[in-house]
């Protein structure tokens, strides 16, 4: 998974291709629970590029994107938001895969 390095990079990724942004933080226990399954999910949904967004490093971006709970996922396809799975609740592999499966092709 790529790690977001700047707000400019977010705009670049968001506007070019299919990207899923995972908003997370190192201290978040619910985020750490899904870490082991993420490589498998990335492989299964390889038509999207997955990008890790550190909530603490990019708090203004989180506010701009209305992401107030983590872990959360927001998907874009060439600048258009195609889906969001945003809440403060722990997410299971099945829930994440259903979210990704339900995104427009």
* Residues recognised as catalytic: 28, 31
HSE at residue 40, side-chain half, CA atoms within 13 A, is 8
**What is the sign, positive or negative, of the torsion defined by CA atoms of 28, 43, 75, 1?**
positive
- Whether the CB-CB separation of 24 and 59 falls below 8 Å is answered with no
Element (H, E) at 82: strand 80-85
């Amino acid at each position: 998974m790529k790690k977001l390095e700047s707000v400019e990079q977010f705009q670049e990724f968001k506007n070019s291709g299919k990207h899923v942004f995972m908003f997370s933080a190192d201290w978040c226990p619910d985020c750490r629970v899904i870490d082991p399954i993420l490589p498998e999910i990335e492989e299964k949904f390889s038509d999207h590029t997955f990008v890790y967004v550190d909530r603490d490093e990019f708090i203004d971006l989180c506010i701009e994107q209305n992401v107030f709970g983590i872990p959360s996922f927001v998907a874009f396809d060439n600048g258009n938001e195609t889906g969001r799975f945003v809440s403060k609740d722990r997410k299971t592999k099945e829930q994440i895969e259903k979210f990704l499966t339900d995104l427009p092709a």
